[in-house]
Amino acid sequence: GGETEPVWTLVTDASTLAAGDQIVIVASSSNYALGTTQNDNNRNAVSVTKSGNTVVIGNTVQIITLETGSVSNTFAFNTGTSGYLYAASSSKNHLRTKTTLDANGSWSISITTAGVATIKANGTNTKNLLKKNSTSALFSCYDSGQSEVSIYRLEGGEPGDEEPKPAITVSSETSVNVEAAG
């Protein structure tokens, strides 16, 4: 036998997200995901294959590990070696990565039952909605418009991952409670 493909499943309830989850961000109405390439002011969009409520990704899709944000009721998007995604401007549509976490890298998440996610940075920068650009193959932060996004979570976790993680629960009002999972 060979290795099985990881299963990335559409998240339709923000309250099921927890610190430690691995996610990918995908355009809701097209077959593009947030890529690993950090351009000057945005992230590239790479092709994926959707099938029902799952998505198959390639090695150029950015896998994000959720962490507790620096602002109450938020998540941080840890990209691994390059740091945290953050909304980087009020005057331009910038999505960048940095190694320190602050409010501009602390994201509120709400999700409709159809899986459309509103991902909003909680800092002072007003271009703070993470979206897929509607006319270009890129993801960035905007104050309105553009293409909606969805969150897909890795199901099953990684082998040997039996340590309990802090659970972050998000209600329909986007409030977050942190408690020990067990």
Residue 94: CA count within 13 A, CB half-sphere: 16
Give the chain's mean pLDDT.
88
Across the range 145-174, mean pLDDT stands at 62
What pLDDT is recorded for position 2?
61
- The least confident of 43-57, 100-114, 156-170 is 156-170
Residue 122 pLDDT greater than 80, yes or no: yes
Comparing CA positions, the residue from 128, 124, 133, 151 lying closest to residue 62 is 151
Kindly indicate the confidence band of residue 81, based on its pLDDT and cuts at 50, 70 and 90: confident
Between CA 57 and CA 79 the distance in angstroms is: 16
Across the range 155-170, mean pLDDT stands at 46
What pLDDT is recorded for position 3?
66
Residue 170 pLDDT greater than 90, yes or no: no
Q: How far is CA 180 from CA 75, 92, 165, 168, 177, in A?
A: 16, 39, 7, 9, 10
DSSP class of 15: G
Residues 84/98, Cβ–Cβ less than 8 Å = yes
DSSP class of 10: E
Task: Report the Cα–Cα distance between both ends of the chain, in Å, rounded.
Answer: 33
Across the range 81-102, mean pLDDT stands at 96
Between CA 40 and CA 161 the distance in angstroms is: 35
Distance of CA 104 to the CA centre of its chain: 14
What pLDDT is recorded for position 1?
55
Residue-wise pLDDT for 6-16, tens only, equals 999 999 999 99
Across the range 169-178, mean pLDDT stands at 40
Kindly indicate the confidence band of residue 181, based on its pLDDT and cuts at 50, 70 and 90: very low
pTM (predicted TM-score)? 0.85
Angle at the Cα of 9 from the Cα atoms of 113 and 3, rounded to 5 degrees? 170
Residues 83/99, Cβ–Cβ less than 8 Å = yes
3-state secondary structure of 176: strand
Across the range 44-62, mean pLDDT stands at 97
- The least confident of 89-93, 120-124, 134-138, 170-174 is 170-174
Q: What are phi and psi of 19, to 5 degrees?
A: -55, 135
Comparing CA positions, the residue from 181, 178, 171 lying closest to residue 14 is 171
